[in-house]
Amino acid sequence: MSLLQYHHVSKRFGNTTVLDNINLEIPTGKIIGLLGPNGAGKSTLIKLANTLLTPTTGNITFQNQPLGVASKTEIAYLPERTYLDKTRTIRQTLDFFQNFYHNFDRAKAERLLDDLDLQLDTQILHMSKGMQEKLQLILVLSRHVKLYILDEPLGGIDPAARDYILDTILTNFDEGASVLISTHLIADIEKLLDEVIFLQNGKIILQDDADHLRAQTQTSIDEIFRKEFKNAR
């Protein structure tokens, strides 16, 4: 059974169509790359799965149930921005997550934070942006869920930190869970991907197994992407 299903989903804002008749299934146990140029609709696609937006037409189901409290319990979302209360300390944030998510593994989070030498009583305000992003990633990956959705986890991060993030993603998500990563920095991430989905102008133009694509075209996913989107705005 696939985890997340988009049925004929379209999203319009006023007169602009951001997503056009999306039919998509996210399978279990795979790392999937949602790739596309800026403005393709990746973030919108993701926000729809998290009930931050409602589809203009069509609907989305999680494990064949409509989105709701049950789906939010089993989806861990890492947005592009810092969504934490910056006036709190790391410890208070851990308390918060533990309080509201019953599948939050506090011990794991503290272990990962320890690896980064982060003091639990630091106020989030006082952390650098890079550190804040790593903290959020740790919080998200410390939840035992079925689907991790990471929206541009590598954006604005220096190359050294990128390795840490990719490694953390690889070694820390639950076995049997799926990870949906949206990014336009493909070269760094493509070795991790099982499947790729190409999104352009609100439409899915490609969905395939990563190695299968490589065998077919004898090039990297990055190359395929560049060729495909050469004429994108």
CB of 210 to another protein, least distance (A): 7
Burial 5-18 (b: 16+ CB within 10 A, else e): bbeebebeeeeebb
Q: Cβ 83 to another protein, closest distance in Å? A: 4
Which CB sits closer to another protein, 110 or 194? 194
106-115 and 90-100 helices, crossing angle to 10°: 150
Q: Which residues contact 86 (CB under 8 A, 6 or more apart)?
A: 123, 124, 125
Q: How far is the CB of 31 from another protein (least distance, A)?
A: 5
Residue numbers of the site for another protein (CB under 8 A)?
29-31, 47, 50-54, 68-70, 72-73, 75, 77, 79, 81-85, 87, 96, 99-101, 166-167, 170-171, 187, 190-194, 210-212, 214-215, 218-223
Phi, psi dihedrals of residue 141, rounded to the nearest 5°: -75, -15
Question: Which of 169/199 has CB closer to another protein?
Answer: 169
Q: Which is nearer to another protein, 25 or 211 (CB)?
A: 211
Helix (H, G, I), strand (E, B) or coil at 48: helix
Q: Where are the alpha helices (DSSP H) in 156-209?
A: 159-172, 186-189
Return d(Cα 217, Cα 228) in angstroms, integer: 12
**C-alpha 22: how far from its chain's center?**
18
Q: Compute the distance between CA of residue 135 and CA of residue 117 in angstroms, rounded to an integer.
A: 11
Q: What whole-number distance in Å separates Cα of residue 152 and Cα of residue 127?
A: 20
In this complex, which beta carbon is closest to another protein, that of residue 14 or of residue 117? Answer: 14
Q: How far is the CB of 231 from another protein (least distance, A)?
A: 22
Compare residues 139 and 199 and give the one whose CB is closer to another protein: 139
State how beta strands 147-151 and 75-78 pair: parallel
CB of 89 to another protein, least distance (A): 13
How many angstroms separate the CA atoms of 204 and 156, rounded? 26
The least CB distance from residue 177 to another protein, in Å, is: 11
Q: Which is nearer to another protein, 20 or 209 (CB)?
A: 209
Give the nearer residue to another protein in terms of CB position, either 46 or 199: 46
> Min. distance of Cβ 27 from another protein in angstroms?
11
